[in-house]
Amino acid sequence: LEGYNVDWTKKYKGNSRLVLKPNSTKKVSQILKYCNENLLPVVPQGGNTGLVGGAIPIKDEIILSLSNMNKILEFDTHQSVISCEAGCVLDALNQHLLPYKYEIPLDLGSRGSCQIGGNIATNAGGIRFIKFGPFKSYVLGMEVVLANGEILDLRSKIRKDNTGLDIKQSFIGSEGILGIITQANILVSPLDKFKTVILMQCESFGKVLEISRECKSTPGRHLSALEFFDEHCYKLVQKNLPGVVRPFEFSPELKNFYVLIELCGQEPLDGIIEELYEKLSEKNLTLNMIMSENESQFHSLWRLREGIAEACGRGGIVLKYDVSLGIEKFEDIVQSVRKRHGDYGYSVGYGHIGDSNIHINSICKKPEYKKKMEELLEPYIFEYLASVNGSISAEHGIGSMKPKYLHFSKNNLAIHYMHQLKKVFDPNGILNPNKVLISQ
Protein backbone atom coordinates (compact mmCIF):
# COMPACT_ATOMS: atom_id res chain seq x y z
CA LEU A 1 0.00 0.00 0.00
CA GLU A 2 3.01 2.30 0.14
CA GLY A 3 2.20 4.13 -3.10
CA TYR A 4 -1.14 5.16 -1.58
CA ASN A 5 0.19 6.00 1.89
CA VAL A 6 2.98 8.34 0.77
CA ASP A 7 2.68 11.56 -1.22
CA TRP A 8 4.74 12.83 -4.18
CA THR A 9 7.09 14.82 -1.94
CA LYS A 10 7.48 11.92 0.56
CA LYS A 11 6.76 14.45 3.31
CA TYR A 12 3.34 13.00 4.23
CA LYS A 13 3.01 9.39 5.29
CA GLY A 14 -0.18 7.60 6.29
CA ASN A 15 -0.80 4.26 7.88
CA SER A 16 -3.86 2.98 6.04
CA ARG A 17 -4.33 -0.75 5.76
CA LEU A 18 -7.14 -0.60 3.22
CA VAL A 19 -7.43 0.92 -0.23
CA LEU A 20 -10.73 0.61 -2.07
CA LYS A 21 -10.88 1.09 -5.81
CA PRO A 22 -14.54 1.15 -6.90
CA ASN A 23 -15.35 1.24 -10.60
CA SER A 24 -18.82 2.80 -10.45
CA THR A 25 -20.71 5.59 -8.72
CA LYS A 26 -23.03 3.00 -7.23
CA LYS A 27 -20.10 1.27 -5.51
CA VAL A 28 -18.75 4.60 -4.19
CA SER A 29 -22.21 5.24 -2.80
CA GLN A 30 -22.42 1.83 -1.12
CA ILE A 31 -18.94 2.23 0.39
CA LEU A 32 -19.72 5.65 1.83
CA LYS A 33 -23.09 4.54 3.20
CA TYR A 34 -21.36 1.69 5.02
CA CYS A 35 -18.50 3.86 6.29
CA ASN A 36 -20.91 6.55 7.47
CA GLU A 37 -23.05 4.07 9.39
CA ASN A 38 -19.95 2.57 10.98
CA LEU A 39 -18.14 5.89 11.50
CA LEU A 40 -15.16 4.82 9.41
CA PRO A 41 -13.12 7.75 8.08
CA VAL A 42 -12.34 7.87 4.35
CA VAL A 43 -9.66 9.72 2.39
CA PRO A 44 -10.49 10.34 -1.29
CA GLN A 45 -7.45 9.95 -3.51
CA GLY A 46 -7.03 10.88 -7.15
CA GLY A 47 -3.61 10.84 -8.83
CA ASN A 48 -1.88 11.53 -5.48
CA THR A 49 0.07 14.47 -6.90
CA GLY A 50 -1.25 16.98 -4.35
CA LEU A 51 1.42 18.90 -2.46
CA VAL A 52 -0.26 19.63 0.90
CA GLY A 53 -0.93 16.12 2.18
CA GLY A 54 -4.67 16.21 1.37
CA ALA A 55 -4.88 12.77 -0.24
CA ILE A 56 -2.82 10.92 2.41
CA PRO A 57 -4.35 9.50 5.59
CA ILE A 58 -3.27 11.19 8.79
CA LYS A 59 -3.74 7.93 10.70
CA ASP A 60 -5.20 4.72 9.29
CA GLU A 61 -8.23 6.08 7.40
CA ILE A 62 -9.55 4.02 4.49
CA ILE A 63 -8.26 5.28 1.15
CA LEU A 64 -10.84 5.53 -1.61
CA SER A 65 -8.94 5.68 -4.88
CA LEU A 66 -10.76 6.94 -7.98
CA SER A 67 -8.22 5.35 -10.36
CA ASN A 68 -10.64 2.71 -11.64
CA MET A 69 -13.24 5.32 -12.54
CA ASN A 70 -11.47 6.45 -15.70
CA LYS A 71 -14.04 6.21 -18.48
CA ILE A 72 -14.49 9.05 -20.94
CA LEU A 73 -18.25 9.14 -21.42
CA GLU A 74 -18.86 11.60 -24.25
CA PHE A 75 -17.55 14.62 -26.12
CA ASP A 76 -20.42 16.89 -27.07
CA THR A 77 -19.14 18.85 -30.08
CA HIS A 78 -22.13 21.20 -30.06
CA GLN A 79 -21.55 22.36 -26.50
CA SER A 80 -17.74 21.72 -26.51
CA VAL A 81 -18.19 19.75 -23.31
CA ILE A 82 -16.39 16.56 -22.33
CA SER A 83 -18.12 14.24 -19.85
CA CYS A 84 -15.99 11.78 -17.95
CA GLU A 85 -15.51 9.88 -14.74
CA ALA A 86 -13.48 11.60 -12.04
CA GLY A 87 -10.50 9.24 -12.24
CA CYS A 88 -9.57 10.24 -15.81
CA VAL A 89 -6.00 11.47 -15.99
CA LEU A 90 -5.68 15.01 -17.39
CA ASP A 91 -3.29 13.94 -20.16
CA ALA A 92 -5.65 11.14 -21.25
CA LEU A 93 -8.49 13.65 -21.65
CA ASN A 94 -6.28 15.85 -23.81
CA GLN A 95 -5.26 12.86 -25.93
CA HIS A 96 -8.93 12.11 -26.49
CA LEU A 97 -9.62 15.72 -27.47
CA LEU A 98 -6.62 16.04 -29.81
CA PRO A 99 -8.37 14.81 -33.01
CA TYR A 100 -11.15 17.31 -32.36
CA LYS A 101 -8.51 20.07 -31.91
CA TYR A 102 -9.66 20.90 -28.39
CA GLU A 103 -7.97 20.88 -24.98
CA ILE A 104 -8.86 21.06 -21.29
CA PRO A 105 -8.39 24.68 -20.16
CA LEU A 106 -5.95 23.68 -17.42
CA ASP A 107 -2.35 22.56 -17.62
CA LEU A 108 0.14 21.65 -14.92
CA GLY A 109 3.37 19.72 -14.51
CA SER A 110 1.59 16.70 -13.01
CA ARG A 111 -0.60 16.28 -16.14
CA GLY A 112 0.53 12.67 -16.66
CA SER A 113 -0.83 11.50 -13.26
CA CYS A 114 -3.30 14.00 -11.81
CA GLN A 115 -6.98 13.22 -12.28
CA ILE A 116 -9.79 15.53 -13.29
CA GLY A 117 -11.57 14.79 -9.98
CA GLY A 118 -8.40 15.84 -8.10
CA ASN A 119 -8.09 18.94 -10.29
CA ILE A 120 -11.65 19.93 -9.40
CA ALA A 121 -11.25 19.03 -5.72
CA THR A 122 -8.17 21.30 -5.52
CA ASN A 123 -9.43 23.93 -8.00
CA ALA A 124 -5.96 23.60 -9.54
CA GLY A 125 -4.24 26.70 -10.97
CA GLY A 126 -1.35 25.73 -13.22
CA ILE A 127 0.63 27.35 -15.98
CA ARG A 128 -2.18 28.57 -18.25
CA PHE A 129 -4.19 30.38 -15.57
CA ILE A 130 -3.20 33.68 -17.12
CA LYS A 131 -4.95 32.64 -20.33
CA PHE A 132 -7.94 30.69 -19.06
CA GLY A 133 -8.55 32.04 -15.55
CA PRO A 134 -9.78 29.78 -12.72
CA PHE A 135 -10.60 26.18 -13.62
CA LYS A 136 -13.85 26.45 -11.66
CA SER A 137 -15.43 28.46 -14.47
CA TYR A 138 -15.07 25.48 -16.85
CA VAL A 139 -16.61 22.89 -14.53
CA LEU A 140 -20.17 23.03 -15.83
CA GLY A 141 -21.46 20.02 -14.00
CA MET A 142 -20.56 17.14 -11.75
CA GLU A 143 -21.84 14.13 -9.89
CA VAL A 144 -20.93 13.89 -6.22
CA VAL A 145 -21.44 11.15 -3.69
CA LEU A 146 -22.15 12.54 -0.24
CA ALA A 147 -20.92 11.07 3.03
CA ASN A 148 -24.20 9.19 3.65
CA GLY A 149 -24.07 7.61 0.19
CA GLU A 150 -26.58 9.92 -1.48
CA ILE A 151 -25.76 10.59 -5.14
CA LEU A 152 -26.07 14.29 -5.88
CA ASP A 153 -26.60 14.73 -9.61
CA LEU A 154 -25.41 18.19 -10.74
CA ARG A 155 -24.40 17.11 -14.23
CA SER A 156 -25.41 20.17 -16.20
CA LYS A 157 -23.76 20.79 -19.55
CA ILE A 158 -25.02 24.29 -20.04
CA ARG A 159 -22.98 27.38 -19.31
CA LYS A 160 -25.70 29.79 -18.32
CA ASP A 161 -27.70 28.35 -15.45
CA ASN A 162 -28.83 30.75 -12.71
CA THR A 163 -31.26 28.43 -11.00
CA GLY A 164 -30.97 28.95 -7.27
CA LEU A 165 -27.84 28.43 -5.24
CA ASP A 166 -24.93 26.99 -7.21
CA ILE A 167 -24.20 24.07 -4.86
CA LYS A 168 -21.69 22.61 -7.32
CA GLN A 169 -19.27 25.46 -6.57
CA SER A 170 -19.01 24.32 -2.93
CA PHE A 171 -17.35 21.10 -4.07
CA ILE A 172 -14.79 22.84 -6.30
CA GLY A 173 -11.68 23.30 -4.17
CA SER A 174 -13.25 21.36 -1.27
CA GLU A 175 -10.30 18.91 -1.12
CA GLY A 176 -12.44 15.85 -0.46
CA ILE A 177 -14.05 17.09 2.76
CA LEU A 178 -17.62 17.56 1.45
CA GLY A 179 -18.16 14.71 -0.98
CA ILE A 180 -16.54 12.44 -3.54
CA ILE A 181 -16.66 13.72 -7.09
CA THR A 182 -17.44 10.81 -9.41
CA GLN A 183 -18.19 12.49 -12.75
CA ALA A 184 -17.56 15.85 -14.38
CA ASN A 185 -18.65 17.88 -17.39
CA ILE A 186 -15.89 20.21 -18.52
CA LEU A 187 -16.12 23.02 -21.05
CA VAL A 188 -13.09 22.68 -23.33
CA SER A 189 -11.13 25.20 -25.44
CA PRO A 190 -9.96 25.14 -29.06
CA LEU A 191 -6.31 24.13 -29.44
CA ASP A 192 -3.96 26.87 -30.57
CA LYS A 193 -2.23 26.29 -33.90
CA PHE A 194 0.92 28.23 -33.04
CA LYS A 195 2.85 28.23 -29.79
CA THR A 196 6.23 29.64 -28.82
CA VAL A 197 8.25 29.87 -25.65
CA ILE A 198 10.63 32.72 -24.94
CA LEU A 199 13.09 32.48 -22.07
CA MET A 200 14.75 35.66 -20.83
CA GLN A 201 17.61 36.18 -18.45
CA CYS A 202 17.71 39.47 -16.57
CA GLU A 203 19.99 41.02 -14.00
CA SER A 204 17.57 42.07 -11.28
CA PHE A 205 14.10 41.40 -9.98
CA GLY A 206 13.19 44.99 -10.86
CA LYS A 207 13.67 44.04 -14.51
CA VAL A 208 11.43 40.98 -14.04
CA LEU A 209 8.66 43.29 -12.87
CA GLU A 210 9.07 45.52 -15.92
CA ILE A 211 9.14 42.54 -18.29
CA SER A 212 6.02 41.20 -16.64
CA ARG A 213 4.24 44.52 -17.22
CA GLU A 214 5.29 44.64 -20.87
CA CYS A 215 4.26 41.02 -21.51
CA LYS A 216 0.88 41.47 -19.87
CA SER A 217 0.15 44.34 -22.21
CA THR A 218 0.76 42.16 -25.30
CA PRO A 219 -2.34 42.83 -27.40
CA GLY A 220 -4.73 40.16 -28.64
CA ARG A 221 -4.77 37.66 -25.72
CA HIS A 222 -1.73 35.82 -27.05
CA LEU A 223 -0.02 35.43 -23.70
CA SER A 224 -0.63 31.88 -22.45
CA ALA A 225 2.00 31.67 -19.67
CA LEU A 226 4.04 34.17 -17.68
CA GLU A 227 6.40 32.40 -15.30
CA PHE A 228 9.58 33.30 -13.44
CA PHE A 229 12.37 31.65 -11.47
CA ASP A 230 15.45 32.82 -9.65
CA GLU A 231 18.99 31.74 -10.44
CA HIS A 232 19.09 29.33 -7.50
CA CYS A 233 16.32 27.35 -9.25
CA TYR A 234 18.20 27.43 -12.54
CA LYS A 235 21.34 26.11 -10.90
CA LEU A 236 19.47 23.37 -9.03
CA VAL A 237 17.76 22.18 -12.22
CA GLN A 238 21.12 22.08 -13.99
CA LYS A 239 22.66 20.15 -11.11
CA ASN A 240 19.87 17.68 -10.34
CA LEU A 241 18.13 16.93 -13.64
CA PRO A 242 20.24 15.11 -16.18
CA GLY A 243 19.96 16.23 -19.78
CA VAL A 244 18.38 19.66 -19.35
CA VAL A 245 19.51 22.39 -21.73
CA ARG A 246 21.70 25.26 -20.52
CA PRO A 247 20.93 28.21 -22.77
CA PHE A 248 22.62 30.76 -20.46
CA GLU A 249 25.54 30.70 -18.01
CA PHE A 250 25.07 31.55 -14.32
CA SER A 251 26.27 34.71 -12.68
CA PRO A 252 28.89 34.04 -9.99
CA GLU A 253 26.66 35.42 -7.19
CA LEU A 254 23.51 33.71 -8.55
CA LYS A 255 21.81 37.09 -8.75
CA ASN A 256 20.07 36.77 -12.11
CA PHE A 257 16.41 36.02 -12.68
CA TYR A 258 14.55 34.29 -15.50
CA VAL A 259 11.21 34.98 -17.13
CA LEU A 260 9.55 32.35 -19.30
CA ILE A 261 6.63 33.32 -21.45
CA GLU A 262 4.50 31.32 -23.81
CA LEU A 263 2.66 32.96 -26.69
CA CYS A 264 -0.09 31.25 -28.63
CA GLY A 265 -2.56 31.93 -31.40
CA GLN A 266 -4.43 30.68 -34.45
CA GLU A 267 -2.22 32.80 -36.77
CA PRO A 268 1.62 32.92 -36.98
CA LEU A 269 3.08 34.88 -34.07
CA ASP A 270 6.03 36.54 -35.86
CA GLY A 271 4.64 40.08 -35.72
CA ILE A 272 3.76 39.86 -32.04
CA ILE A 273 7.14 38.39 -31.13
CA GLU A 274 8.99 41.04 -33.10
CA GLU A 275 7.06 43.82 -31.39
CA LEU A 276 7.73 42.35 -27.96
CA TYR A 277 11.46 41.89 -28.69
CA GLU A 278 11.67 45.52 -29.79
CA LYS A 279 9.91 46.78 -26.65
CA LEU A 280 12.13 44.73 -24.32
CA SER A 281 15.36 45.63 -26.14
CA GLU A 282 14.50 49.34 -26.32
CA LYS A 283 14.12 49.39 -22.54
CA ASN A 284 17.18 47.21 -22.06
CA LEU A 285 15.30 44.77 -19.86
CA THR A 286 17.09 41.51 -20.63
CA LEU A 287 20.64 40.20 -20.64
CA ASN A 288 19.76 37.33 -22.98
CA MET A 289 16.73 35.91 -24.72
CA ILE A 290 16.07 32.65 -26.49
CA MET A 291 13.00 31.52 -28.39
CA SER A 292 11.86 28.00 -29.25
CA GLU A 293 12.16 27.28 -32.99
CA ASN A 294 10.51 23.83 -32.92
CA GLU A 295 8.56 21.50 -30.67
CA SER A 296 11.59 19.88 -29.13
CA GLN A 297 13.06 23.25 -28.09
CA PHE A 298 9.62 24.29 -26.84
CA HIS A 299 9.61 21.35 -24.42
CA SER A 300 13.25 21.69 -23.35
CA LEU A 301 12.77 25.33 -22.43
CA TRP A 302 9.60 24.49 -20.47
CA ARG A 303 11.54 21.70 -18.72
CA LEU A 304 13.78 24.34 -17.13
CA ARG A 305 10.73 25.77 -15.38
CA GLU A 306 8.60 22.66 -14.89
CA GLY A 307 11.52 20.62 -13.58
CA ILE A 308 12.11 22.92 -10.59
CA ALA A 309 9.85 21.03 -8.14
CA GLU A 310 11.56 17.74 -9.03
CA ALA A 311 15.03 19.29 -8.84
CA CYS A 312 14.24 20.66 -5.36
CA GLY A 313 13.03 17.23 -4.24
CA ARG A 314 16.34 15.73 -5.24
CA GLY A 315 18.13 18.32 -3.12
CA GLY A 316 16.74 17.10 0.23
CA ILE A 317 13.61 17.46 2.36
CA VAL A 318 11.55 20.33 0.96
CA LEU A 319 9.11 22.61 2.75
CA LYS A 320 6.74 24.06 0.17
CA TYR A 321 5.03 27.41 0.43
CA ASP A 322 2.55 28.08 -2.36
CA VAL A 323 1.46 31.63 -1.72
CA SER A 324 -0.09 34.69 -3.33
CA LEU A 325 0.88 38.32 -2.81
CA GLY A 326 1.66 41.47 -4.77
CA ILE A 327 4.47 40.59 -7.20
CA GLU A 328 6.50 43.62 -6.14
CA LYS A 329 6.99 41.81 -2.80
CA PHE A 330 8.23 38.51 -4.26
CA GLU A 331 11.90 39.34 -3.80
CA ASP A 332 11.39 40.58 -0.27
CA ILE A 333 9.49 37.51 0.94
CA VAL A 334 12.18 35.16 -0.40
CA GLN A 335 14.96 37.23 1.18
CA SER A 336 13.09 37.34 4.51
CA VAL A 337 12.64 33.57 4.44
CA ARG A 338 16.34 33.04 3.68
CA LYS A 339 17.32 35.34 6.52
CA ARG A 340 14.92 33.61 8.87
CA HIS A 341 16.18 30.03 8.36
CA GLY A 342 19.83 30.99 7.97
CA ASP A 343 22.17 28.05 7.57
CA TYR A 344 19.61 25.34 8.29
CA GLY A 345 18.57 25.34 4.65
CA TYR A 346 18.35 27.20 1.40
CA SER A 347 15.34 28.63 -0.39
CA VAL A 348 14.38 29.16 -3.99
CA GLY A 349 11.61 31.29 -5.46
CA TYR A 350 9.68 30.58 -8.66
CA GLY A 351 6.19 30.37 -10.02
CA HIS A 352 3.31 31.92 -11.82
CA ILE A 353 4.26 35.59 -11.67
CA GLY A 354 1.48 36.39 -14.15
CA ASP A 355 -1.01 35.33 -11.48
CA SER A 356 0.82 36.81 -8.44
CA ASN A 357 1.58 33.26 -7.23
CA ILE A 358 5.06 32.39 -5.97
CA HIS A 359 6.32 28.98 -4.84
CA ILE A 360 8.96 29.21 -2.16
CA ASN A 361 10.70 25.87 -1.75
CA SER A 362 12.86 25.70 1.36
CA ILE A 363 15.25 22.78 1.31
CA CYS A 364 16.66 21.45 4.58
CA LYS A 365 20.43 21.07 4.49
CA LYS A 366 20.17 17.93 6.63
CA PRO A 367 17.08 15.72 7.23
CA GLU A 368 17.35 16.38 10.98
CA TYR A 369 16.90 20.14 10.38
CA LYS A 370 13.33 19.67 9.15
CA LYS A 371 11.68 20.33 12.50
CA LYS A 372 13.82 23.39 13.18
CA MET A 373 13.13 24.77 9.70
CA GLU A 374 9.39 24.27 10.17
CA GLU A 375 9.48 26.01 13.53
CA LEU A 376 11.35 28.93 12.03
CA LEU A 377 9.14 29.31 8.95
CA GLU A 378 5.69 28.44 10.26
CA PRO A 379 3.80 30.57 11.13
CA TYR A 380 6.46 33.17 10.15
CA ILE A 381 5.63 33.03 6.42
CA PHE A 382 1.88 33.01 7.05
CA GLU A 383 2.16 36.05 9.35
CA TYR A 384 4.11 37.83 6.64
CA LEU A 385 1.34 37.03 4.14
CA ALA A 386 -1.42 38.20 6.46
CA SER A 387 0.43 41.50 6.95
CA VAL A 388 0.38 42.16 3.19
CA ASN A 389 -3.15 40.78 2.57
CA GLY A 390 -1.76 37.80 0.68
CA SER A 391 -3.02 34.23 0.64
CA ILE A 392 -1.40 31.31 2.49
CA SER A 393 -2.49 28.99 -0.32
CA ALA A 394 -2.66 30.20 -3.91
CA GLU A 395 -3.37 26.97 -5.81
CA HIS A 396 -2.38 23.83 -3.88
CA GLY A 397 -4.99 24.04 -1.12
CA ILE A 398 -4.86 23.56 2.65
CA GLY A 399 -4.73 19.75 2.99
CA SER A 400 -3.23 18.53 6.25
CA MET A 401 -0.41 21.08 6.06
CA LYS A 402 -2.27 24.30 6.77
CA PRO A 403 -5.57 23.84 8.68
CA LYS A 404 -4.13 25.47 11.78
CA TYR A 405 -3.00 28.47 9.74
CA LEU A 406 -6.27 29.03 7.86
CA HIS A 407 -7.09 32.02 10.07
CA PHE A 408 -4.18 33.92 8.52
CA SER A 409 -6.22 34.13 5.31
CA LYS A 410 -9.84 33.77 6.47
CA ASN A 411 -11.68 35.47 9.33
CA ASN A 412 -13.36 33.58 12.19
CA LEU A 413 -16.89 33.99 10.86
CA ALA A 414 -15.86 32.66 7.45
CA ILE A 415 -14.22 29.63 9.12
CA HIS A 416 -17.34 29.14 11.28
CA TYR A 417 -19.53 28.88 8.17
CA MET A 418 -17.04 26.50 6.53
CA HIS A 419 -17.59 24.20 9.53
CA GLN A 420 -21.37 24.64 9.19
CA LEU A 421 -21.21 23.65 5.53
CA LYS A 422 -19.10 20.63 6.40
CA LYS A 423 -21.78 19.58 8.92
CA VAL A 424 -24.50 19.83 6.27
CA PHE A 425 -22.81 17.44 3.85
CA ASP A 426 -20.85 15.26 6.27
CA PRO A 427 -22.45 15.43 9.75
CA ASN A 428 -20.40 12.50 11.09
CA GLY A 429 -17.12 13.97 9.82
CA ILE A 430 -16.02 10.82 8.01
CA LEU A 431 -14.69 12.53 4.86
CA ASN A 432 -11.02 13.49 4.98
CA PRO A 433 -10.98 14.33 8.71
CA ASN A 434 -8.63 17.08 9.84
CA LYS A 435 -7.95 18.22 6.31
CA VAL A 436 -8.70 21.89 5.52
CA LEU A 437 -10.64 22.30 8.81
CA ILE A 438 -9.64 20.97 12.21
CA SER A 439 -12.38 18.49 13.15
CA GLN A 440 -14.65 19.82 15.92
- The 127-156 contact track toward ligand 2HG, x by CB under 6 A, reads ------------------------------
- Going by their DSSP bridges, the two strands 62-65 and 42-45 should be labelled as parallel
Bridge partners for 62 per DSSP: 42
207 binds, among ligand 2HG, ligand FAD, none (CB under 5 to 8 A by kind): none
Least distance CB 232 / ligand FAD (angstroms): 18
The answer to the question of residue 256 lying near ligand 2HG (CB under 6 A) is no
Residue 241: burial class (beta carbons within 10 Å; 0-12, 13-18, 19+): middle
Pick the piece of the chain touching ligand FAD (CB under 6 A) from 120-128, 208-216, 284-292, 420-428.
120-128
Q: Which residues pair with 19 in a beta bridge?
A: 63
Question: Rule CB under 6 A: which of 339-358 touch ligand 2HG?
Answer: 351
Is residue 176 at the binding interface for ligand FAD, with CB under 6 A as the rule? Answer: yes
If one asks whether residue 397 binds ligand 2HG (CB under 6 A), the answer comes out as no
Q: Among ligand 2HG, ligand FAD, none, what does residue 222 contact (CB within 5–8 Å per kind)? A: none
To ligand 2HG, the closest distance from the beta carbon of 419 in angstroms equals: 28
Contact (Cβ atoms closer than 8 angstroms) between residue 342 and residue 270: no
309 is a site residue for ligand 2HG (CB under 6 A):
yes
Q: What is the 3 state secondary structure string of 303-335?
A: HHHHCHHHHHHCCCCEEEEEEECCHHHHHHHHH
Q: How many CA atoms lie within 13 A of 246 on its CB side?
A: 14
Phi, psi values for residue 332, rounded to 5°: -65, -40
Residue 287 CB, nearest distance to ligand FAD (Å)?
Answer: 27
* Closest distance to ligand FAD from the beta carbon of 403 (Å): 12
Give min distance, CB of 343 to ligand FAD, in A: 28
Is 111:88 a contact under the CB 8 Å cutoff? no
Name which of ligand 2HG, ligand FAD, none residue 351 binds, using a CB cut-off of 5 to 8 Å depending on partner kind: ligand 2HG
* Cross-sheet strand order for the sheet of 357-364: 288-291, 194-202, 257-265, 223-230, 345-352, 357-364, 318-324
Residue 38: how many CB atoms within 10 A of its CB?
9
The pairing of beta strand 19-20 with beta strand 62-65: parallel
Q: Write out the residues near ligand 2HG by the rule CB under 6 A.
A: 51, 109, 308-309, 320, 322, 351, 359, 361
Q: Write out the residues near ligand FAD by the rule CB under 6 A.
A: 8, 43-51, 54-55, 66, 86, 108-110, 114-115, 117-119, 121-122, 124-127, 175-176, 180-181, 309, 395-396, 399, 432, 435
